[in-house]
């Protein structure tokens, strides 16, 4: 019997999943000098952690009587994307020749200065299949719609350009 609880993306989305960054110039995994992949760990956009964080951000904005500026909207979106990365330290991420410390400020730096990486993170976080257990071929009699399929390097590369 199939149990829909197995597809609970709110709970399972709080388990960060690895995303190896893809170089937008070559569509190859970004690696360091030792050949180790530049790896981020990403929460699902639908996770309880992210829903709570987005609620906090919206509540902060609603306390201001004024209409949000374009900068306010951009800053909120950046904060949300950076938060997707804060559940587990990244690996082999360097900036200006030095290992980049794992913190919110640096997550914002990466997402602001590397829009191609931000796009990969947002795409990965929005695909439910990246956070749910793989299904067996016999568990469903309906054809795949690819609606929530797991992201691959090819998918991410296609999103880059």
85-132: pLDDT as tens digits: 888 999 999 999 999 999 999 999 999 999 999 999 999 999 999 999
95 by DSSP, 3-state: which? strand
Tally of residues, the chain: 161
Question: What's the mean pLDDT in 152-157?
Answer: 51
29-75 residue pLDDT tens: 999 999 999 999 999 988 888 888 777 877 777 777 678 788 887 88
pLDDT at 17: 95
Q: What is the pTM of this model?
A: 0.76
Is the pLDDT reported for residue 6 higher than 70?
Answer: yes
Please report which confidence band the pLDDT of residue 155 belongs to, taking 50, 70 and 90 as the band edges: low
Give 110: exposed, middle or buried? Use CB within 10 Å, 0-12, 13-18, 19+: buried
Domain ranges of the chain: 18-133+147-160
């Amino acid at each position: 019997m199939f149990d829909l609880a197995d597809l609970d993306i709110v709970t399972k989305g709080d388990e960060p999943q690895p995303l190896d960054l893809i170089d937008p110039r070559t569509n190859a995994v970004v690696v360091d000098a030792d050949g180790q992949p530049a790896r981020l760990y990403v929460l699902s956009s639908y996770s309880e952690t992210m829903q709570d964080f987005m609620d906090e951000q919206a509540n902060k904005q609603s306390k201001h009587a004024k209409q949000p500026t374009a900068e306010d909207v951009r800053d909120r979106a950046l904060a949300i994307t950076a938060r997707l990365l804060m559940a587990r330290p990244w690996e082999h991420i360097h900036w200006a020749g030095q290992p980049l410390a794992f913190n919110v400020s640096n997550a914002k730096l990466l997402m602001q200065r590397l829009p191609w990486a931000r796009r990969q993170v947002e795409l990965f976080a929005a695909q439910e299949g990246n956070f749910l257990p793989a299904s067996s071929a016999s568990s469903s009699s309906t054809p795949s719609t690819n609606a929530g399929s797991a992201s691959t390097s090819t998918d991410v590369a296609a999103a880059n350009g």
